[in-house]
């Protein structure tokens, strides 16, 4: 089975908008899912500049799915969905 790939944006906009809180995912996800999921911090994903005025930062990508205004709960829910849980 292909791994789910999670990228937590740590670019400036997302960081200011709260991705600092999402950094716990980087420890939490491997503990919860082990080898099934790869998680990493990422420089600006290029999403914040598309719609700056209505920015929905912080952004996290779960495979190709963009999670706006990401929270730990939203990201875990998206991972569970990918894994069919």
Nearer residue to ligand FES within complex by CB, 12 or 21:
12
User: Least distance in Å: CB of 19 to ligand FES?
Assistant: 7
Q: Respond yes or no on whether the N-terminal peptide bond of residue 58 is cis (omega within 30° of 0).
A: yes
Nearer residue to ligand FES within complex by CB, 32 or 49:
49
25 token code pair: 């995912």
Report the interface residues with ligand FES, using CB under 6 A.
9, 11-14, 44-48, 57, 59
Count CB-CB contacts under 10 A for residue 64: 6
User: Least distance in Å: CB of 47 to ligand FES?
Assistant: 4
User: Least distance in Å: CB of 74 to ligand FES?
Assistant: 15
Nearer residue to ligand FES within complex by CB, 52 or 85:
52
The conformation of residue 76, written as its DSSP 8-state character, comes to H
The DSSP annotation for 52-71 comes to: GGG---S-EEETTEEESS--
């Amino acid at each position: 089975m292909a791994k789910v790939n999670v990228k937590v944006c740590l670019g400036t906009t997302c960081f200011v908008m709260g991705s600092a809180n999402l950094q716990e995912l980087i420890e939490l996800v491997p503990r919860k899912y082990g080898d099934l999921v790869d998680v990493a911090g990422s420089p600006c994903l290029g999403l914040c500049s598309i719609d700056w005025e209505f920015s929905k930062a912080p952004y996290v990508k779960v495979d190709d799915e963009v999670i706006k205004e990401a929270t730990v709960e939203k990201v875990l829910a998206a991972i569970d969905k990918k894994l069919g849980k």
